[in-house]
């Protein structure tokens, strides 16, 4: 092929530390689902396909999943409170460095795959998502770079300037590709201030202001280990939750209800506590957007227009926040219970005592549920193609690609542009066979630009499938 530019895009690897449990607890962290060798094989195939053309590996967010690391060091050099011992370390710079080291220690083949790529003279662009936003801290990025540098030097090679590049928002190659993780278009995971995502509590260290979705992973999903946080199997109706409890919790020492109740209030409390700090932070958005425009060569008004497509985080809407954790329904249930008891105690006709709890209360509840419907975690899947189309109209690129949703798809959005959602490499298993991976994931996007029309290839890379 004629030398041009080539891109290999992957997202949502969700690398974490390994935990093996015989009862299926946190099976998504099991060593049997490691994909490091497959990833290394894919990278090698991509370099072979590129030939003499430069190949850019775009790691499009959620590559390292800091939220899934619940371990703490045996002798921590910093204070670790009771909550951190139970649910994992806070997102401060030194603690995030420790978590990164723990994850990469569990994935030496993945690290060597990146070293292979750099040693061959190609480059890597790392775009931060919502689960790996802790790369915002300079020491975390430096730790990652130092590891690659040491591995390269062991081979007698050196890390070239610019060979590894971190992007806090997006990557853009004029006329070719626009890549962004996409969490900013999702109210559950968007950062209040994407380009300055930290806050400092009084007498405390600077730490990441984590969105609701990520806090839910840290304080709920990490304690409800029979659900897979990478899939949507935790979205159930009431009766399905009862079945889940009977199957996994009824005869164990673990508690599903208490974990949900405590975790929900902890998440809401943390969001409420951080909200005033975010609002008090100096408004430097214009200067930061100008810096993005200068570094990318995109017109400032275009950068501003792309930024305006983002969704405000759910932290700005307290009611939606309470509803997401079913706290509103818990309060309604308490109100109805209290109302039923009150009716039973007051001297009124028996038919009223029976009719109100059996008919009026349920009717009011159904009316409330109908009126309270709003966006859900699935709303972002419908929104993505429209956002991609808007971006392609602002920038003359042929490919717009996001990650985040774990829903792989390729959709034409304009006459000369396509949108690709790059799915996930995280272990999503079959519903009836949780020991086996569901087909169609471990996705990759290959794009090459040379003479003529670009070549776009979107497929799946897992054992038994090379499409």
Closest Cα to residue 157, out of 209, 120, 112, 203? 120
Whole-number pLDDT of residue 361? 83
Asked if residue 321 is part of any domain, the answer here is no
Domain boundary among the residues 339, 355, 372 is at: 372
- The total of other beta-carbon atoms located within 10 Å of residue 298's CB is 20
Q: Do residues 127 and 402 lie in contact, with contact meaning Cβ atoms separated by under 8 Å?
A: no
From 186, 216, 428, 432, select the one nearest 309 (Cα to Cα): 186
86-123 confidence digits (pLDDT tens): 889 999 999 999 999 999 999 999 999 999 999 999 99
- In three-state secondary structure terms, 412 is strand
Residue 36: other Cβ atoms inside 10 A? 17
Domain shared by 262 and 292, yes or no = yes
**Distance from C-alpha of 84 to C-alpha of 72, rounded to nearest angstrom:** 8
| End-to-end CA gap in the chain | 20
- Does 87 map to a domain? yes
Cβ-proximal residues to 325 (8 Å cutoff; 6+ apart), any chain: 260, 264, 265, 267, 268
Highest mean pLDDT among 93-97, 234-238, 336-340: 93-97
What does the alpha-carbon distance between residue 55 and residue 71 come to, in Å, rounded to a whole number?
36
- Under DSSP, the state recorded for 156 is T
- Angle 51-55-57 from CA coordinates, rounded to 5°: 140
Mean pLDDT of the chain: 90
> Is 177 part of a structural domain of the chain?
yes
Is 3:53 a contact under the CB 8 Å cutoff? yes
39, 425 Cβ separation under 8 angstroms: yes
Q: Check whether residue 116 and residue 240 sit in a common domain.
A: yes
Q: Quick one: 266 exposed, middle or buried, by C-beta within 10 A (0-12, 13-18, 19+)? A: middle
Question: How far apart are alpha carbons 465 and 442 in whole angstroms?
Answer: 10
Would residue 251 count as lying in a domain? yes
* Residue % of the chain over a pLDDT of 70: 96
* 182 burial via Cβ count (<10 Å: 0-12, 13-18, 19+): buried
Are residues 348 and 203 part of one domain? no
Residues 393 and 437 in one domain: yes
Q: Are residues 46 and 87 in the same domain?
A: yes
At residue 79, the pLDDT reads: 92
The answer to whether residues 150 and 225 belong to one domain is yes
Share of the chain above pLDDT 90, in %: 59
Q: Per-residue pLDDT tens for 390-424?
A: 999 999 999 999 999 999 999 999 999 999 999 99
Decide if 70 is inside a domain. Answer: yes
**Total residue length of the chain:** 467
- pLDDT score of 137: 97
Q: Do 122 and 29 have their domain in common? A: yes
| Residue 71 belongs to domain spanning | 5-316+377-466
Mean pLDDT to the nearest integer, 312-330: 75
Same domain, 447 and 358: no
The DSSP secondary-structure symbol of 133 reads G
What pLDDT score was predicted for residue 172?
97
My answer on whether 245 and 349 are in the same domain is no
For residues 51 and 133, membership in a common domain is answered with: yes
Report whether 253 contacts 53 (CB < 8 A): no
> Which has the higher per-residue pLDDT, 324 or 96?
96
Q: How many CB atoms lie within 10 A of CB 358?
A: 11
Give the end of a domain, one of 372, 387, 402. 372
For β-strands 123-127 and 164-167, DSSP reports them as parallel
The rounded distance, in Å, linking the Cα atoms of 194 and 190 is 8
CA 31-32-36 angle, 5° bins: 70
Q: Report the alpha-carbon distance of residue 18 to residue 422 in Å, rounded.
A: 24
State pLDDT tens for residues 240-272.
Answer: 888 888 888 888 888 888 888 888 888 888 888
Report the phi/psi class of residue 124: left, alpha or beta, with left for phi > 0 and alpha for psi in -120 to 50. Answer: beta
pTM, full prediction: 0.90
**126 and 247 share one domain:** yes
Q: Are residues 225 and 185 in the same domain?
A: yes
Closest CA to 197 of 244, 135, 246: 135
Sheet of 417-421, strand order: 170-173, 177-180, 399-402, 417-421, 409-414
Rounded Cα–Cα distance for residues 110 and 97 (Å) = 18
**How many domains are there within the chain?**
2
């Amino acid at each position: 092929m004629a030398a041009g530019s080539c891109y290999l895009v992957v997202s949502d690897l969700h690398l974490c530390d390994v935990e093996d449990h015989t009862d299926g607890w946190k099976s998504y962290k099991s060593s049997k689902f490691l994909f490091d060798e497959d990833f290394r094989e894919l990278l090698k195939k991509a370099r072979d396909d590129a030939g003499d053309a430069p190949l850019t590996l775009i790691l499009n967010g959620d590559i390292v999943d800091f939220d899934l690391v619940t371990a703490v060091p045996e002798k921590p050099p910093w204070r670790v409170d009771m909550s951190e011992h139970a649910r994992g370390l806070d997102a401060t710079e030194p603690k995030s460095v420790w978590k990164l080291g723990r994850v990469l220690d569990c994935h030496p083949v993945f690290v060597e795959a990146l070293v292979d790529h750099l040693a061959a003279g190609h480059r890597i662009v790392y775009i931060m998502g919502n689960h790996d936003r802790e790369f915002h801290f300079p020491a975390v990025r430096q730790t990652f770079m130092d590891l690659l540098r040491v591995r390269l030097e062991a081979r007698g090679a050196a890390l070239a300037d610019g060979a590894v590049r971190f992007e806090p928002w997006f990557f853009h190659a004029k006329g070719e590709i626009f890549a962004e993780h996409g969490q900013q278009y999702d109210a559950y995971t968007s950062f209040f201030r994407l380009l300055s995502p930290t806050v400092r509590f009084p007498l405390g260290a600077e730490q990441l202001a984590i969105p609701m979705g990520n806090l839910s992973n840290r304080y709920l999903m990490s304690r409800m280990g029979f659900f897979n946080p990478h899939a949507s199997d935790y979205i159930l109706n009431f009766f399905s939750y009862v079945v889940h409890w009977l199957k996994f919790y009824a005869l164990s020492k673990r508690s599903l209800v208490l974990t949900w109740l405590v975790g929900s209030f902890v998440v809401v409390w943390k969001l409420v506590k951080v909200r005033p700090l975010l609002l008090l932070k100096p408004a430097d958005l214009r200067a930061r957007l100008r810096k993005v425009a200068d570094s990318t060569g995109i017109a400032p008004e275009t950068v501003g227009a792309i930024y305006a497509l983002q969704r405000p985080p759910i932290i700005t809407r307290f009611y939606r926040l309470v509803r997401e954790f079913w706290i509103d329904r818990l309060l309604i249930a308490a109100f109805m219970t209290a109302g039923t008891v009150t009716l039973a105690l007051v001297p009124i006709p028996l038919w009223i005592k029976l009719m109100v709890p059996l008919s009026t209360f349920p009717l009011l509840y159904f009316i409330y549920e109908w009126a309270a419907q709003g966006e859900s975690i699935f709303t972002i899947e419908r929104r993505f193609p429209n956002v991609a189309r808007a971006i392609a109209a602002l920038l003359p690129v042929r490919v717009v690609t996001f990650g985040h949703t774990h829903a792989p798809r390729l959709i034409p959005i304009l006459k000369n542009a396509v949108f690709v959602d790059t799915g996930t490499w995280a272990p999503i298993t079959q519903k009836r066979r949780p020991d086996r991976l569901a087909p169609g994931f471990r996705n990759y996007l290959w794009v090459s630009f040379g003479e003529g029309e670009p070549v776009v290839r979107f497929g799946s890379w897992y054992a038994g499938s090379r499409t």
